[in-house]
A and B are shown apart, each in its own frame.
Chain A
Amino acid sequence: MRFFRDLLLAALATGAVLGMLEGFLRLAHVHYQGSLYANENERGFGLRPNAAGWETDEADVYVQINSDGMRDRERPISRPAHTLRVAVIGSSETNAREVTLDETFEAVMSRDLSRDLEARGWSADVLNFGVPGYTYSQEYLTLQNHVWKYQPQIVILLFSSFPVLKTVRNFYPAELKGAPVYVLQDGKLVPDAITRSTPPLDAHRQIFKNRSSDWMNKSYLATLLNAARVKVKEFVPALKARWQKPSATAPSSTATSSAERLSYNPDLPEAQEAWSIAEAIFKAMKEDCYRHGAEFWIVMADQEKQVTPDLAAREAFQKSMNLPSLDAVDQHMERFGAAQGIPVFALAKPLSDYALSHKTYLHGAPNSAEHSGHWNAVGNAQVGHAIAKELEARSTFVRELSSGQLAAQSR
């Protein structure tokens, strides 16, 4: 009996120590990356509905996912009357987890468009469907199966060139494990053999996993242990790489520079298959939008070297990568858009103008490497203003709405 009493008291003391450590971390505001994802059969993974946790990779932001798995506030499914709905699909830039919800470019766009439409008695609702790490295949599935119930009048694909390389499996095979990939068969997009043969997930296991992640996010100590688990997982490969001879480690740096080269240059032969699949997906997206009576836009995210206010750094980068131009991808996509009748808007020019005139960096949050990474708060604000302005100028729907032609309708 005494044994159990002592054991219980020791367990209580341990609990008190755990409480003290949790309290210390909370008091010191030291938190770690939360888990916001869930595995799913259709897209491989997605944001976990109602998940909430800290995002610490590039900035310290508390991110909340709504009940439909979007990094957004709760949205009514049916479009409210006199509301312009814009759905933005994309990956990490769209998700904008480096800034608070109010600072995302979608929020800025929403405010700008609402201001513009206020006089006509309309408001704007910009929905964030971005999921970090998504490929165009996953974004296509998002459009097909998740966007339409919200009845948007405009769909924007936020394009960046890096995910183009992920439309095929050969560049980043490990990252695409479990994710759907399309191939072209007789000019049509079909899931590849791996996607077709992937077994469905064990539903019970997923429920348990998701609940555990939700509980983990509530405790700073648990997220610390999870962060350590991730580091331990990375430790062994890092150790192996460290002991390899310099010649053996060379390919990884070559791979990085090659990925950068491919991201800036759409004409390199090794990426042509990826580009043709990506373009087929964009065409399919456009057709899907037209079927649903929505405008389809491609907005080209800038690449950080295009908008750095340091012109010498731009030039040095271009030289080091042996690139004909930093805008080659933008030009390529503009040609593609013109040929397919898709409005394409490149952000690089307005963002570069802003960065140069204000001598400011639009990329790079406090925890990322200097001036690199995703858009910071200033970057998001400028992106939001630029897209809203472009829609006001070029979107048929917004122009008709602004001019009063559609004001009486609740389309």
Chain B
Amino acid sequence: MSFTEPLFLLYLAICVVVNRLCPKGLRPAFLLVASYVFYCTWSPAAAGLLAVLTLLTFGAGLVAEHARVQENTSIAWLAPAAAILLTGYLMAFKVALLTPSHGIAGLVMPLGISYYSFKLISYVLDVHWVKMPAEKGLVNFAAYVAFFPQIVAGPIQRPANFFEQLPPQPESVVNPLLRIAWGFVKKLLIADNLAPAVNAIYGHVTSLHGAPLWAGFYLFPLQLYADFSGLTDIAIGSGQLLGITGPENFNRPFTASSISDFWRRWHMSLTTWLGDYVFVPMRMASRRAGQWGLSFSIAVNMIAIGLWHGLTGSYLFFGLINAGYLIVDTLTNKRRTTFFRKNPQWDKAGSWFGWLLTFHLILIAEVFFRSQHVSDAVWLLGHLWSGLSGSLAVLQSLLVGNEMRSLVIGLVGYLMLELGERYRPDQWLRRIYAVAPRWVRWSYYSAGVTFGIFGLALLFVHTAGKRAAFLYEIF
């Protein structure tokens, strides 16, 4: 069951109603059952694996707490060992799938493995580091790990934050529904309309020059953002409908004025997770090594981000390039700040230049992210300026049927997305609504219902019987 299928919306609607009708105390159990039913539609075997890991990690948490309370150092190693084993489990799947001829026949990546593994690791380490007590209720814990709105592609919610919200007490349905609708707009109107052009270009990258490569260079990051943030919106909105608010994942990343700013705005639940569980411990350990230690910690963190997506050369390069950017950004930060303080007349120009430079540096890194092989990415970046004459016609010939129209719709939609996130019309509409006369409020309702009906119709027509996969579902 994919988030873009009408079946998912039907399932979600049933879950929302049943969850609200459930006595509060039974809601975690209901969420657990609903999550496993959802997961079983993908693979009952993978659901079994998830259940086993959940049980083992739950036990490891209890033992870690017991060791701490009893000051029993002989079993204190258990929690770090569990974290290492969980990392090994995740790595094993990524390696096995990288070399299918050496892997287990018929092996498929369990849905959301990268996300639930990180949830389990953070839990066991948080208990070990006394950031939170061990969860005593197995049902609550299992519901946290398998919570279905987040299992496909996050956001990666921290355990303490999830448990604080139990038993779930869902409130308004309007805001979550709007959030879900916005997610669908991002996915179906923007990302899916940009996808054919991106696929056509990256599918033939080494035979192209000039214009098509520029198009691929600029379009993929927009598609990725619309796709992934759309998925996050659906996940967060669905979670809120069930009474659980997940963490935010994006904060207008392409407006970042520096690389470090970008990474504070992009896939925030992953970057803060790796910051807390990889970067900070490494930085503490390498404190004495000064700037070298800092650079090393950054590099390890960014390589981990790259390889989290998959153990391939392109993801490794993606991590390395970002590591390089961040190291330069961090090491020059002090000087840049001093320069702009002394030369305030350059401040405005600096912000613009910073934004433009950051945006393009990110695009360069994203080329590696999207390319099948490192050589494809090198080709794309190396042939942007070659064979420009006539390449526009090649770009047009790559887009068959309705793909040019889709591209225009996708680009206009992306512009709407940026403007919408910049000016937040929903917020000023809400302000107007609060003091508006009755006919305006009624118009607001009827317009909302009209949009809802046609939105659902569009969703049905474009997704029923098809599987519009999200880019981040595969990780």
Contact = CB atoms under 8 A, between A and B. Distances in A.
A10 B460 contact: no
B454 to A, nearest CB: 6
A9 B439 contact: yes
Contacts of A14: 443, 446-447, 450
B456 interface: yes
Given A7-B439, A14-B443, A366-B400, 10 more contacts: A2-B438, A6-B437, A13-B439, A17-B451, A60-B401, A228-B461, A231-B464, A231-B465, A234-B464, A235-B464
B436 to A, nearest CB: 11
Q: Report the contact-size class of chain A (Cβ under 8 Å from the partner).
A: 20 to 34
Contacts of A221: 454
Interface string A216-243: 0000010011011001101100110000
6 A-B pairs closest in CB distance:
A366-B401, A13-B443, A228-B457, A10-B442, A6-B439, A9-B439
Contacts of A228: 456-458, 460-461
B6 interface: yes
Interface in A189-246: 221, 224-225, 227-228, 231-232, 234-235, 238-239
B357 interface: no
Interface stretch (A28-36, A146-154, A158-166, A282-290): A28-36
A367 interface: yes
A21 interface: yes
B228 to A, nearest CB: 24
Nearest to B443: A13
A13 B402 contact: no
Interface of B is mostly: helix
Interface string B435-475: 00111001101110011001011101100110000000000
B405 interface: yes
Given A28-B405, A234-B464, A10 B457 contact: no
B461 A9 contact: no
A2 B438 CA distance: 10
A225 B464 CA distance: 14
Interface string B390-420: 0000000000111001001100100000000
Contacts of B446: 10-11, 13-14, 17
B7 interface: yes
Contacts of B451: 17, 21
A390 to B, nearest CB: 32
A219 to B, nearest CB: 12
8 contacts: A6-B437, A10-B445, A10-B446, A32-B461, A227-B461, A235-B460, A366-B402, A367-B402
Contacts of A358: none
Among A7, A30, A59: residue with most chain B CB under 10 A: A30
B442 A6 contact: yes
B442 A18 contact: no
Contact of A225 (B438, B447, B457, B465): B457
A5 interface: yes
A18 B457 CA distance: 14
Interface in B66-82: none
A365 B451 CA distance: 32
A6 B464 contact: no
Nearest to B447: A17
B442 A17 contact: no
B461 A21 contact: no
A5 B458 contact: no
Nearest to A232: B460
A62 to B, nearest CB: 14
A30 B400 CA distance: 16
A5 B439 contact: yes
Contacts of B461: 32, 224, 227-228, 231
Given A10-B446, A14-B447, A28-B405, A235 B438 contact: no
B2 to A, nearest CB: 13
Nearest to B6: A235
B303 to A, nearest CB: 39
A21 B442 contact: no
A350 B454 CA distance: 48
A54 to B, nearest CB: 12
Contacts of B442: 6-7, 9-10, 13
Contact of A234 (B438, B458, B465): B465
A13 B439 CA distance: 9
A231 B438 contact: no
Contacts of B408: 28
A297 to B, nearest CB: 34
Contacts of B456: 228
B200 to A, nearest CB: 13
Contact of A231 (B412, B445, B450, B460): B460
B438 A6 contact: yes
Interface in B239-270: none
Given A228-B456, A228-B461, A238-B465, A60 B402 contact: yes
Contacts of B443: 9-10, 13-14
Interface string A304-317: 00000000000000
Given A7-B442, A17-B451, A224-B458, A28 B400 contact: no
A186 B7 CA distance: 53
Given A5-B439, A235-B464, A17 B402 contact: no
B450 A17 contact: yes
Nearest to A225: B457
Contacts of B457: 224-225, 227-228
B245 to A, nearest CB: 30
Interface string A1-44: 01001110111011001100100000011101000000000000
Nearest to A14: B446
Contacts of A59: 401
Among B412, B439, B451: residue with most chain A CB under 10 A: B439
Contacts of A235: 6, 460, 464
B409 A28 contact: yes
B151 to A, nearest CB: 20
Contacts of A29: 405
A399 B467 CA distance: 56
A6 B460 CA distance: 33
Contacts of A28: 405, 408-409, 412
A239 B438 contact: no
Nearest to A8: B439
A16 to B, nearest CB: 8
B285 to A, nearest CB: 51
Nearest to B449: A14
A221 B402 CA distance: 19
A15 B271 CA distance: 46
A239 B464 CA distance: 10
A10 B445 CA distance: 9
A305 to B, nearest CB: 22
Nearest to B448: A17
A224 B465 contact: no
Given A18-B450, A239-B7, A367 B465 contact: no
B402 to A, nearest CB: 7
Contacts of A365: 401
B337 to A, nearest CB: 46
Contact of A10 (B400, B412, B439, B454): B439
Given A10-B442, A235-B464, A239-B7, A21 B402 contact: no
Nearest to B442: A10
Contacts of A367: 401-402
Interface string A78-116: 000000000000000000000000000000000000000
A7 B446 CA distance: 10
Given A6-B438, A232-B460, A13 B447 contact: yes
A371 to B, nearest CB: 12
A50 B41 CA distance: 47
Contacts of A6: 437-439, 442
